[in-house]
Amino acid sequence: MYLRNLQNKTLCLLVLIVFTNCSKKNDDLSIPENSVFEPKTELISLTEKESNLTLAWKPVIIDGFINYKVYRLDSHTDAFDNPNLIVNLGELVYQTDNNLNTEYVDNEVPYNSFINYAVVTEYFNEVNTMTSVTSINYLSYENEDLFFSLTSLEKLADGSFKLVWEQDFNNAFENYTIYTLNNGSATSSSDIVNIGEVLHIQNIQENTSIIDNTQYTDEVVSYAVSKKINGKIILSKNFLSIENPRNLSFLPSQTLKNPNDENEIIIINKEGGIVFYNVNTLNSQNVEIDGKIFYCSIGKFNGIEDLYVPSENGKVYVIDLNTYEIKEIIDLNTDYNIISAIAIDNHILFLEKHFQNSATIGGTFVYDRVNNNVLNRNGSYTMNLNSKLIFAKENYFFFVVWNGLEYQNTSATRRLNINGNEVSIDLSFNDSRIDSRLFALSSDQSYFVSTEFGYQSTINYPNVTEFTTGSYSNSPIYGDVKITENDNIYFTVPTSSRIDVFLKNGFNSPIVQYATIGEPLFIEIFENHLISINQIENSYFIETIPKQ
């Protein structure tokens, strides 16, 4: 009896073992072949059918599984760095606690260019703490009827920008809106739409380009476009940016007009750069020299006009005004700075100064271009860093200095005399209203305007003197001055962001005032417009102002 009971129990145990083993084998067979045995899943497909989207992913086979969460983000782009952005920016649309349920059918697909999905797995880790991890990838559905791109952005011959984008073909089209951003911070179309400005709204569906002649101030201009379809705003997939040809990356120290090109100005960067800038096309040619640049001039030698660029270590660079090439480097045999240089006949009159700003050692000397030697460098002299030379006519020139006063007790008008190797300079002892920070000579060389007060002085060349006839301001407000051939006098007024225009001897009030975008630092005058180089905070740009 006991033996029979033992046999029966043994038989039941064997049956139980066999059943258990079979159950485990069946469980093993039920695990999908594409399963992953870690928490992070992988999305494998996103398909469209009858306006629905079906998302599928690999099942996760782990201990401690809690659930899957599906996140959806509708957007104008599918260019995301990682799936976590879909989770962080999107919305939770589905959740399941069945680890073998790895499909989601979205029957409420948003109306947008791209629909992006990612899946999060929640589980208990080895210390029984609930943890979540995002799928290794995300998938996007592209709505071909909605998404569109910007295709090109270029600068035209007149300096304006042309933007082109892809056409929309939806029957419910309403309009395009073009946006711009001019601070260089854009990373997406939505940035430009959200913080930029509306340039134009275009209601014609076939019109997919725009020409923009706005005068932008910052270094980079960015564009995005949206379109409105059936009341829904769709953003362009991408944005395009272009360098602003009106922006300068440096604080200019001087401007000149190129006598060989009526549409070109020369902008000096004291750190060693020269920009030849066409004011019509906004194209530029850059020349770099090896050293700092001081006060430049345009001079003539052997009948050819060139740009003379004084620099460090006794160098004067001669720049061709047509080819923009450095055609000659004149070595004045000193390690001092050459702070100003002008061409007079076959000579160069130059100012040299000790390279330490606090040292006033230096002098006014003459270089013989034919014999390649300095004629009069002897003895001990002094020189102010802010001193400048301006050519007048024949062998006359102006020596101007800024010493913190609005006048000096010797004439600015000087006469250079050279007899063989002997050099002398004539001047007179009389008060001169002069300041090297602001100086302009009339086209007939009969008078000049100088100082922040705008003093006008008539020149007496035989007596090497000048007589001040009046002032265009009662307070020091002017920053730059230019005189036209018809004797209109243009002043920049940086503190008031404007340009004042006077008739010669019309000291009482300006005949025209022009508002500027920012503080005008330098101006050049052309037949139909003014070119003003302005400053806004630490940004510098070139503004074109039509003449009134």
Rounded to an integer, what distance in angstroms lies between the CA atom of residue 458 and that of residue 469? 7
pLDDT at site 4: 38
Question: What's the average model confidence in pLDDT over 149-170?
Answer: 97
pLDDT category, 26, cuts 50, 70, 90? very low
Tell me: do 378 and 337 sit in the same domain.
yes
Residue-number span of the structural domain to which 176 is assigned: 150-243
Q: How far from 469 is each of 484, 502, 504, CA to CA, in Å?
A: 19, 15, 11
Both tokens assigned to 533: 């180089």
Q: How far from 457 is each of 204, 460, 465, CA to CA, in Å?
A: 61, 10, 10
Query: H or E element: which one contains 22?
Result: helix 2-30
pLDDT category, 405, cuts 50, 70, 90? low
Tens digit of each residue's pLDDT (9 = 90 or more) over 125-144 = 999 999 999 999 999 999 99
Rounded to an integer, what distance in angstroms lies between the CA atom of residue 208 and that of residue 24? 65
Asked, for residue 230, whether it belongs to a domain, the answer is yes
* E strand map for 40-129: 43-49, 52-57, 65-75, 91-96, 103-106, 114-124
**DSSP three-state, residue 438:** coil
Tell me: do 268 and 360 sit in the same domain.
yes
Asked, for residue 24, whether it belongs to a domain, the answer is no
pLDDT at residue 11 is higher than 60:
no
Rounded to an integer, what distance in angstroms lies between the CA atom of residue 378 and that of residue 381? 9
Tell me: do 303 and 336 sit in the same domain.
yes
Number of domains, the chain: 5
- How many helices and strands (H and E) does the chain possess? 3, 44
pLDDT at site 431: 80
- Listed residues 471, 503, 524: the one ending a domain: 471
pLDDT at site 29: 47
pLDDT higher for 545 or 406? Answer: 545
Tens digit of each residue's pLDDT (9 = 90 or more) over 239-273 = 999 999 999 999 999 999 999 999 999 999 999 99
Asked, for residue 425, whether it belongs to a domain, the answer is yes
pLDDT category, 22, cuts 50, 70, 90? very low
Average pLDDT, the chain: 92
pTM value is 0.84
Both tokens assigned to 373: 């030697």
Tell me: do 230 and 293 sit in the same domain.
no
* E strand map for 135-219: 139-142, 150-155, 161-165, 173-181, 197-202, 209-212
In 3D space, the residue among 534, 429, 414 whose CA is nearest the CA of residue 462 turns out to be 414
Tens digit of each residue's pLDDT (9 = 90 or more) over 66-102 = 999 999 999 988 888 899 999 999 999 999 999 999 9
